[in-house]
Amino acid sequence: MNAFNSDIAVAVYDLHAGAVRAVQELQGAGFNVKRISIIGSARIFGALGTFWSCTGTLTADLSAIGIPGDSVQRYATALRANKFMLVIRGDMRDVNRASELLAISGHERFDRHHVHGKTPVHVPA
C-alpha cells in the first residue's frame, strides 16, 4: 500500500487519554499499531513520524499523506484547541472496521478519506 492508494480515518478526541484508549481498542482488535498515530498540538506519537508542530509543516505533511486541504485546516484548528487526532491508515475494510469499533469511544468526529491516484477524496461518514 502506498501513500496514494489507501484509506485514512481521522478521529478527533478532546483528551489524550481518549485517543490512547481508542488505540488500545484497535490494537486489541488486531490492528497493526504501525498504521495508527496520535497527533497532539506539540508532537506526533506513532508511525507517521517523530515530531510535527501544530503549525507549518503539519499542514503540508497531512496533505502529503492524502488528507484534503479543507480537512487539514479543520484538524489544525482542533489541534490548536488542544485536541488530539487519531489517524488510522489502511484499506476501506480497515477504516470501516475502525469506525465500528470506535463508534462509542467518545470521539468528537470521525472522518474517512480515500486516496485515489494523487487526489485525496473526503468520504462522508
97: domain CATH number is 3.30.70
Is 123 part of a structural domain of the chain?
Answer: no
Question: Of 87, 65, 77, which is closest to residue 6 (Cα–Cα)?
Answer: 65
Q: What is the pLDDT of residues 100-124, one digit of tens each?
A: 999 988 999 999 998 765 444 445 4
The number of distinct structural domains making up the chain is 1
Sheet architecture: strand order including 36-39: 44-46, 36-39, 84-90, 5-13, 109-116, 119-123
pLDDT for res 42: 58
Is 71 part of a structural domain of the chain?
Answer: yes
Is 124 part of a structural domain of the chain?
Answer: no
Reduce the DSSP state of residue 108 to 3 states and report it. coil
Q: What is the pLDDT of residues 64-91, one digit of tens each?
A: 877 888 898 898 889 888 899 999 989 8
Range of the domain at 111: 5-117
Is 33 part of a structural domain of the chain?
Answer: yes
Q: Within 10 Å of residue 39's Cβ, how many Cβ atoms? A: 27
Is 125 part of a structural domain of the chain?
Answer: no
Question: Of 113, 86, 79, which is closest to residue 101 (Cα–Cα)?
Answer: 86
d(CA 7, CA 16) in angstroms, rounded, equals 23
